[in-house]
């Protein structure tokens, strides 16, 4: 994961335009882009997104060593949803 760089906003705008043109239902809402970065860069991110017409947001993302105590008992285990095994869920079962 890297710090925010201005090129990310252009790439996100490109992908959102393609998604809206090829996938979105004509009566549907526009897609929303979220760029997760090590740090969002303050003014750099603000200026990069200033004149974009698509809804795009930049947010900082931090890795943690574990879940908050209140969440750990409420979420399914990775085996129950097909994550963490490297098999890709139900499609990868038995491979």
In a domain, 1, yes or no: yes
In a domain, 11, yes or no: yes
Cα angle: 2, vertex 3, 5; to 5 degrees: 105
When divided into structural domains, the chain yields a total of: 1
In a domain, 79, yes or no: no
SS3 label, residue 76: coil
In a domain, 21, yes or no: yes
CB 54 within 8 A of CB 19: no
Distances in Å between the Cα of 40 and the Cα atoms of 5, 51, 81 are 8, 17, 31
In a domain, 74, yes or no: no
Looking at the chain, the whole-number percentage of residues with pLDDT higher than 90 is 19
In a domain, 84, yes or no: no
Give the range among 16-20, 21-25, 39-43, 51-55 with minimum mean pLDDT.
Answer: 39-43
Q: Please tell me the pTM assigned to this model.
A: 0.58
Of 42 and 16, the one with more pLDDT: 16
Range of the domain at 15: 1-63
In a domain, 30, yes or no: yes
In a domain, 71, yes or no: no
């Amino acid at each position: 994961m890297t710090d925010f760089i201005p090129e990310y906003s252009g790439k996100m705008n490109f992908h959102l335009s393609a998604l809206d043109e090829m996938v979105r239902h004509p009566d549907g809402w526009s897609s929303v882009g979220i760029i997760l970065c090590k740090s969002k860069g303050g003014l750099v991110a603000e200026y990069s997104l200033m004149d974009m017409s698509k809804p795009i947001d930049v947010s900082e993302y931090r890795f943690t060593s574990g879940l908050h105590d209140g969440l750990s008992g409420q979420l399914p285990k990775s085996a129950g949803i097909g994550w963490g095994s490297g098999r890709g869920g139900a499609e990868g079962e038995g491979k």
